[in-house]
Structure 1
Amino acid sequence: MRKTLNFLMMMAMVAISFAQNKGIDSKRPNIVFIMSDDHAYQAISAYGHKLNNTPNIDRIAKNGAIFSNSFVTNSICAPSRAAMLTGKHSFVNGKVDNVQEFNWSQETFPKLLQQNGYQTALIGKIHLDGLPQGFDYSAVLPGQGHYYNPDFIINGEKQQLAGYVTEITTELTLEWLANRDQDKPFCVLYHQKAPHREWLPAKKYYSEYTKMKFKEPVSLFDDYSNRGTAAKKAEMNILHHMNWAGDSKIYPEVMEQLGITETSNWGIKALKNNLGRMDAAQRASWDSIYGPINEHFKTIYPTMSPEELMHWRYQRYMQDYLGSIASVDEGVGQVLDFLKENGLDENTIVVYTSDQGFYLGEHGWFDKRFMYEESLRTPLLISYPKEIKPGTDIDGMVQNIDYAPTLLEYAGVKIPKKMQGESFRKLLNNEKTEWRDAIYYTYYEYPSIHMVKRHYGVRTDRYKLIHFYYDIDEWELYDLESDPNELRNVYNDPGYAKIRDMMHRRVKEMRKKYGDSDKNDQRFLKEYLEKINK
């Protein structure tokens, strides 16, 4: 009897030791990290802009926390995702633009979780070349991916799946959650393509959203008169630079009848490619809605003024952009319901964010890239019932380099010293009063699409200093308290001389702190120009 008891106790000790060595602990939180592409914080109803309704994304804020000062380190897709994975600035992780290759062999938070007993998955868009590392399962879109009948690379094998990409990404995520190893904590990166350009909503939503009218931003007709060269030279104006075919969905034959020439060389090709992926039923449904829009446009275009045309193009943009978000919100609801129905909600951290902000007509723009607020600021909502009180508002300045160390701390995994971000777990628990008072930003992809100049800068709770360089040398300073829409550069205003000097000191401090320098800029510029000129 005693031998049997001793044997059972020994086996129990072995099991406990095994679990500890493998990092298996049922008390450790599961993680669902949701990232959409180009989802502006203005387009989440929890932020109060009243542009659209996102009831399911709002559930995360209602049950947890919403961040009002969440920012990216580099407002462009692939570099932002690299910063999210590595917890390091672009000039440290090496992915400074969409052209550079990403080094998957470096440490990422999914790798570290996997090494410490988590089952990991990446599903949807990642926009980083190469086979993803650190995941037990991956089903990713190649490159930007497609909205209809998309290709997926599932554990290294490419296959085309029938349907709408947002719904497919959600279905694959739910399938993985249902069939995961239930003896391990899990981390799934559930990443949507939407609402990335060219904004093709699902049938259930384009039928509805194309009938809606949306409130315009106050700076829709910004003339950039109080800014420098960078804002004036950027090519992202809704009226002048948005594609007629690919973006506004004006059919090529209609453009030809009206004498409209495309604004870029890929606009017509993009529309033909996107619609060409549809099956006959999908295309017939699309044409039943967008055909009449084209016919109506033929009757009004000849007499429209530039101002009227801007109003029209803004509404077309919002109808498709926000219609695409509706499917994202629906998918979030399905995942949240799954967690609740399976008793996983209490011990699961749910994060919702985007890879950067986006212009929804502010300054007359679409796209991102600039250090101005709409591009720099990104949505961030987190729920974790075990620790985060419902309805928590966080105004501390966080960045996407902070996601990795925060999730690692929650998982009980040691945070590597090379990670430059900081865990904001104590911010969520209202335990920490001291936090960073400034953030650092870089942007490198120029000359390129949209022609946004290379720049870096620092933002504090009130001021923002930006240095545009390479083919210009200009500084811009904004007082976000008196000028929240950033319409007036006060860099040369004598009344801001002391502030300007203080912000210059902050730039030097931040560049030193994170290890940035002009040498970085020169090295990455040389590599960039070599790649684009091949």
Structure 2
Amino acid sequence: MSSPRRPNIVFVLTDDHASNAIGCYGSVVNTTPGIDAIAAAGMRFDRALVENALCTPSRAAFLTGTYSHTSAVTTLATHLTNDHETFITALKAAGYRTAMFGKWHLGHGPEHDPVGFDHWEVLPDQGEYFDPEFFTPDGPVRREGYVTDIITDHALAWMEAQGDEPYCVLVWHKAPHRPWLPHPRHADLFTDPIPLPPTFDDDYDGRGTPAHHATMRIADYLTDIDLKEDPPAELGYAERAVWKYQRYMQDYLRCVAAVDEGVQALTDFLHEKGRFDDTVTIYASDQGFYLGEHGWFDKRFMYEESLRMPLVLSYPARVAAGGSTEALVSNVDIAQTLLDFAGVAAPEGMQGRSLVELLTAADPTPVRDAHYYRFYEHDDHMHHVWAHYGVRTDRYKLIYYYADGMGLPNTGNTSYPPEWELFDLEKDPYELTSVHLDPAYADIRRELTLKLWDLQQDLGDSPHPRQPVPEGRTR
């Protein structure tokens, strides 16, 4: 398959959309025909992993193709300076028309506003669900309506106005981010009981202190703003937890419904214009999200539900329909992949890998044998997840909780004794029991500790001073 022209690029990104709430990933709680259609027309990535499961750092990774330690975007309060090269600035320099609509969340003002875009309209910080304000090059504008619909409609209007030059448009949604405010048209959806995940009653007995320390339990930490109504007074603690889960999931899935309608509108437009086949259409989220797994909401941890993002991509001119892959890919890879499809050289400092061979070749070279992750926002005042980094391979996952904010913005001032966790994902897919101290895994532990050290050297990251230097290291 070959394309006669440089492809248009339509990149839809959502905030906190778990793979478990997408039909093509096997959702048992909702349907998403718009997103599923992209997967059916192209490739579904089953092991798409983020390098830092937090909104601001992840968005920086998508744009710059670099890890958090390279971009210096490590927490929600460290913003992207606009002197960084991004796939947008590279596309713009190569003659692409470029636009951005929706959630930026990378800072505002002369040093942080979007650059490389012919047009942009972005939400301040988290933005609002109803009648939201947008920042534009001409100043702030408040628009009437529902934020997901507004972002989609303005992106469509911009796409309609483009000429023959190839374009790239980022349609980056706020939804389904907390506090999960759905459009009234979806108020009657998901009124039947939503099944509880198998680990909803997890007591964290097989893990270390960090899982116990986090304040993300649905039973305990959803607020009045999240729930929007009081639980029935006659419910006991366990029953109230289930009631809270139902309320949370109802509104979360209703927000997803509006996103999926927007995705359908975008792909319908491309089909109507005869451009779907020569457009790279991509849907992703900035990380995963807990939908009651381990009793939690939110993200942050390196556990699978948080680490794994949904990622589907279609480009019928070059990518065969109906594919899926379990290759270890990362949000850091997206920038180079899009530039490769566009025939544009990637800036020298990008640290990801192009996925074009994986998407187009019959027998592609493996992308990587291990994925590196680092979460910096230690013990923040709302969630209290410890800072940690780790490595994930096909079967195993090693995590080192160094438990120190290192003075970074939005981190707690208290440090804690470090801890390790090791999981055998083949035998323990829900990550319920760490085997770090199990003698049967001594060789695996040693191998992964060295792999983690080597990855940090390869990527230019610095191990925390508390991490022991592994035995047998060669550099």
- Relative to the length of structure 1, the TM-score reads 0.82
The one-letter code of the counterpart of 2:9 is I
Equivalent residue for 2:204? Answer: 224
User: Aligned ranges for residues 132-531 of structure 1 at < 5 Å?
Assistant: 132-180=114-162, 182-209=163-190, 211-243=191-223, 245-250=224-229, 297=231, 300-301=232-233, 303-430=234-361, 431-448=363-380, 449-469=382-402, 470=404, 471-518=416-463
Query: Does the Cα contact within 8 Å between 1:440 and 1:457 map onto a contact in 2?
Result: yes
The one-letter code of the counterpart of 1:451 is H
CA displacement, residues 125-167 of structure 1 (integer Å, 9 cap, x when unaligned): 1111121011000011000000011101123410111100001
Aligned to 1:111, the other structure's residue is in SS state helix
Query: Does the Cα contact within 8 Å between 2:373 and 2:390 map onto a contact in 1?
Result: yes
The one-letter code of the counterpart of 1:221 is D
| Residue 71 (structure 1) aligned with residue 71 (structure 2) | no
Query: Does the Cα contact within 8 Å between 2:90 and 2:346 map onto a contact in 1?
Result: no
| Residue 80 (structure 1) aligned with residue 80 (structure 2) | no
Partners of 2:243 and 2:138 lie apart in 1 by: 43
1:341 CA drift (Å)? 0.3
Partners of 2:270 and 2:285 lie apart in 1 by: 21
The one-letter code of the counterpart of 1:198 is P
CA displacement, residues 9-59 of structure 1 (integer Å, 9 cap, x when unaligned): xxxxxxxxxxxxxxxx97101000110000000000100132210011000
Aligned to 2:280, the other structure's residue is in SS state strand
Equivalent residue for 2:412? Answer: none
1:242 CA drift (Å)? 1.2
Partners of 1:417 and 1:519 lie apart in 2 by: 27
Aligned to 1:81, the other structure's residue is in SS state helix
Query: Does the Cα contact within 8 Å between 2:97 and 2:168 map onto a contact in 1?
Result: yes
Indicate how the Cα distance of structure 1 residues 374 and 454 shifts in structure 2: closer, same or farther if over 3 A, else same.
Answer: same
Aligned to 2:422, the other structure's residue is in SS state strand
Indicate how the Cα distance of structure 1 residues 501 and 519 shifts in structure 2: closer, same or farther if over 3 A, else same.
Answer: closer
Q: CA RMSD in A?
A: 1.5
Of residues 450-459 and 44-53 in structure 1, the stretch that sits farther from structure 2 once superposed is: 44-53
Aligned to 1:346, the other structure's residue is in SS state coil
- Relative to the length of structure 2, the TM-score reads 0.92
Structure number with greater Rg is 1
Partners of 2:466 and 2:245 lie apart in 1 by: 36
Partners of 1:167 and 1:49 lie apart in 2 by: 24
Partners of 2:126 and 2:106 lie apart in 1 by: 10
Query: Does the Cα contact within 8 Å between 2:99 and 2:170 map onto a contact in 1?
Result: yes
Aligned length: 447
4+ runs of 1 displaced by more than 6 Å?
A: 519-522
Aligned to 2:218, the other structure's residue is in SS state coil
1:520 CA drift (Å)? 9.6
CA displacement, residues 250-271 of structure 1 (integer Å, 9 cap, x when unaligned): 2xxxxxxxxxxxxxxxxxxxxx
Query: Does the Cα contact within 8 Å between 1:45 and 1:52 map onto a contact in 2?
Result: yes
CA displacement, residues 362-410 of structure 1 (integer Å, 9 cap, x when unaligned): 0000000000000000000000000111101111110000000000011
| Residue 36 (structure 1) aligned with residue 18 (structure 2) | no
Equivalent residue for 1:98? Answer: 76
Query: Does the Cα contact within 8 Å between 2:329 and 2:367 map onto a contact in 1?
Result: no
1:108 CA drift (Å)? 0.3
Q: Which one has a larger percent helix, Structure 1 or Structure 2?
A: 1
Partners of 1:465 and 1:417 lie apart in 2 by: 30
The one-letter code of the counterpart of 2:447 is M
Q: Percent identity?
A: 47
Indicate how the Cα distance of structure 1 residues 454 and 138 shifts in structure 2: closer, same or farther if over 3 A, else same.
Answer: same
Query: Does the Cα contact within 8 Å between 1:230 and 1:452 map onto a contact in 2?
Result: yes
Partners of 1:472 and 1:91 lie apart in 2 by: 23
Query: Does the Cα contact within 8 Å between 1:94 and 1:103 map onto a contact in 2?
Result: no
Partners of 1:521 and 1:422 lie apart in 2 by: 31
The one-letter code of the counterpart of 2:241 is M
Query: Does the Cα contact within 8 Å between 2:56 and 2:79 map onto a contact in 1?
Result: no
**Unpaired runs of 5+ in structure 2?**
405-415, 468-475
